[in-house]
Amino acid sequence: MLRYPVPAGLARTLAGRPLVEARRRGKYLLLDLDGGHLLIHLGMSGSLRFVAPATVPEKHDHADFLFGDAVLRFTDPRRFGALLWLTGDPLAHPLLAKLGVEPLARTFSAAWLLAALRGKSMAIKPALMNSGLVVGVGNIYAAESLFDAGIDPRTQAGRIAPARLERLAPAIKKTLRAAIRAGGSTLRDFCGPAGMGDFQVQHKVYGREGEPCKVCAAPIRHIRQGRRATYFCPRCQR
């Protein structure tokens, strides 16, 4: 059992349907098939990986997708993921309809941030992690982006000056692109198709509590915002 019940008869529904396109919306994967769409979420530690056809499924392997002689296996140890069959417009599904802007899209800019954050009393870091506002800026990348922009993560989102947002929007794009090039951040169990990511060696604040800032040498601080760990430089970030 995953977070959402897998539709009964999913294997029969998918059988024989050609794959038209694979795309993404936020943290959701969309496989566009002839006549419908397979919505996939990997949860906290799930994965999709190709395995040899004779590979015996293990405890946390939940589904195999067969493409000729290739086997794409869905694994989800913590069972927070999803496999859902959709018809109609998948972007209108309740899981996708209220998602915010994509941070690497052209529409994501300082002007967009200024309008979206206007009047918001929450701190800027949890605001950036709100998927109804912007998708894909997780805990690590919010912390690193705010450091690059010189903004204290506790700053009230609606009170950040436009000039500072002019630094934040490109900092987010820069951080995400650098992380993609590095294959992501492997802290515990994350592993991409090409193996472990190594963006963690580029972290300037995340996970570096008490270590000297790489810019000013001040000790990196660690606080809690909600249930999430936040790291920042008290000297560089104001």
**217, two tokens:** 């040498």
The helix or strand, by DSSP H or E, that contains position 65, with its residue range, turns out to be strand 61-67
As a whole number of angstroms, the distance between CA 208 and CA 220 comes to: 6
- Give the phi and the psi of residue 52 in degrees, each rounded to 5: -65, 145
Mapped onto helix, strand or coil, the DSSP state of residue 152 is coil
Q: Does domain 10-97 have CATH number 3.30.70.20?
A: no
- Whole-model pTM: value is 0.86
pLDDT recorded at residue 14: 95
Residues lower than pLDDT 50 in the chain? none
* Bridging pattern class, strands 61-67 and 47-51: unpaired
pLDDT recorded at residue 93: 96
As a whole number of angstroms, the distance between CA 200 and CA 197 comes to: 8
pLDDT recorded at residue 104: 97
Domain boundaries, the chain: 10-97, 110-232
Q: Among 162, 89, 154, 167, which Cα is nearest to 123's?
A: 154
Mapped onto helix, strand or coil, the DSSP state of residue 159 is helix
pLDDT recorded at residue 187: 54
CATH architecture entry for 110-232: Orthogonal Bundle (1.10)
pLDDT recorded at residue 197: 59
